[in-house]
């Protein structure tokens, strides 16, 4: 005797995943791109790719976050000169001690653009780990599991990424003075 198991049609699964994760995917993409239209394009691309993917994904949350981050980073690499809003973290750093003057806002915008370009220039793997750790606030263990690597590799990659960004930031500071 064969037991028939009821499997939801692919469109139902995709609809359920979309309802459950769309907001997070959009937010992750927005934090990277700083532009709502670009974030919506990235989110749409992520779910369209998911629709065309054969079979089920073991960890949809992790897959969708990573896909959103990678899609957003790819978009930044393609649009290096595009005008975008500053990263919230960069805005907070730039605004400390500067007040809310037009000069402070311009500086914050410039710093946000610089930070985006710098992250996009990291290797794709390092950029993804950096964003997962410092933008999405995942811990090293979560990143290691999601990216199928060890925590030691994550730690070393993040260390190199931070060092690279620190050097670029110092150069940026010299250029703006």
Domain count, the chain: 1
Note whether residue 150 is domain-resident.
no
Long-range contacts of 151-154 (CB under 8 A, 24+ apart): 154/129
Domain membership of residue 13 (yes or no) is: yes
pLDDT for the residue numbered 126: 92
Q: Which long-range contacts (CB under 8 A, 24 or more apart) does 77-86 make?
A: 77/120, 79/38, 80/117, 80/120, 82/35, 82/38, 84/33, 84/34, 84/35, 84/38, 84/112, 84/113, 84/116, 85/34, 85/35, 85/109, 85/112, 86/34, 86/111, 86/112, 86/113, 86/115
Looking at the domain assignment, is residue 50 inside a domain?
Answer: yes
Rounded (5°) CA angle 134-135-137: 65
Report the distance separating Cα 39 and Cα 45, nearest Å. Answer: 10
Dist. CA 134–CA 130, nearest whole Å: 6
Helix (H, G, I), strand (E, B) or coil at 23: helix
pLDDT tens digits in sequence order for the chain, 177 residues long: 444 444 445 678 888 888 999 999 999 898 888 888 999 999 999 988 888 777 777 888 888 988 999 999 888 888 764 444 444 544 454 444 445 566 666 667 787 788 888 888 899 899 999 988 988 888 999 999 989 999 999 999 999 999 999 888 887 766 655
In a domain, 117, yes or no: no
pTM of the model: 0.59
- The range of the structural domain enclosing residue 47 comes to 9-81
Q: Does the residue 74 lie in any domain? A: yes
Candidates 134, 123, 144; CA nearest to 70 is 123
Residue with tokens 């985006």: 116
Residue 57 inside a domain? The answer is yes
Give me the CATH number covering residue 41.
1.10.1740
Is the Cβ–Cβ distance between 61 and 22 less than 8 Å?
Answer: no
């Amino acid at each position: 005797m064969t037991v028939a198991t009821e499997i939801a049609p692919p469109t139902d699964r995709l609809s359920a995943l979309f309802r459950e994760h769309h907001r997070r995917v959009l937010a992750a993409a927005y934090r990277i791109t700083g532009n709502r239209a670009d974030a919506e394009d990235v989110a749409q691309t992520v779910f369209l790719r998911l629709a065309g993917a054969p079979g089920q994904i073991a960890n949809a949350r992790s897959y969708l976050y990573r896909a959103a981050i990678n899609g957003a980073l790819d978009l930044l690499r393609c649009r290096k000169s595009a005008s975008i809003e500053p990263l919230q973290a960069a805005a907070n750093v730039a605004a400390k001690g500067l007040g809310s003057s037009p000069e402070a806002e311009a500086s914050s915008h410039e710093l946000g653009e610089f930070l985006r370009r710098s992250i996009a220039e990291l290797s794709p793997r390092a950029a993804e780990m950096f964003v997962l750790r410092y933008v999405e606030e995942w811990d090293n263990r979560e990143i290691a599991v999601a990216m199928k690597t060890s925590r030691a590799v994550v730690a070393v990659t993040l260390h190199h990424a931070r060092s690279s960004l620190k050097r670029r930031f110092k150069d940026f500071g010299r250029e703006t003075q």
